[in-house]
């Protein structure tokens, strides 16, 4: 299989590697300088996604019990 022609003329995505800023306190993923979807929660850097926030603050689901009728 010859794939060489696909290697020519495409920009290298690793060429301008962004600078690491921190790690997400939710998912543990890397946060890079310039990310604009990062929240500061109690001093933690967290991706602005439900799952990351949920894990970062160690939220627990609450079960509400309805009064019987
Ligand atoms: Zn995250």
Residue with tokens 């939220």: 59
Cα 10 to averaged position of ligand 1 atoms, centre (Å): 30
| pLDDT confidence band for 7 (50 / 70 / 90) | low
b/e map of 16-47 (b: 16 or more CB within 10 Å)? eeeeeeeebbbeeeebeeeeeebbeeeebbbb
Cα(67)–Cα(61) distance, rounded to whole angstroms?
19
Its pTM stands at 0.62
Cα 17 to averaged position of ligand 1 atoms, centre (Å): 19
Q: What is the mean pLDDT of the chain?
A: 85
Nearest residue to 57 (alpha-carbon basis) of 66, 44, 48: 44
Please state the rounded mean pLDDT for residues 27-56.
94
Cα 30 to averaged position of ligand 1 atoms, centre (Å): 8
Task: Enter the tokens of residue 57.
Answer: 């603050």
């Amino acid at each position: 299989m010859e794939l060489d022609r696909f290697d020519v003329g495409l920009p290298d995505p690793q060429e301008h590697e962004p600078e690491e800023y921190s790690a997400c306190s939710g998912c543990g993923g890397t946060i890079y300088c310039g990310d604009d979807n990062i929240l500061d929660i109690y001093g933690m850097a967290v991706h602005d996604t439900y799952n990351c926030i949920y894990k970062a603050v160690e939220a627990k689901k609450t079960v509400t019990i309805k009064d019987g009728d």
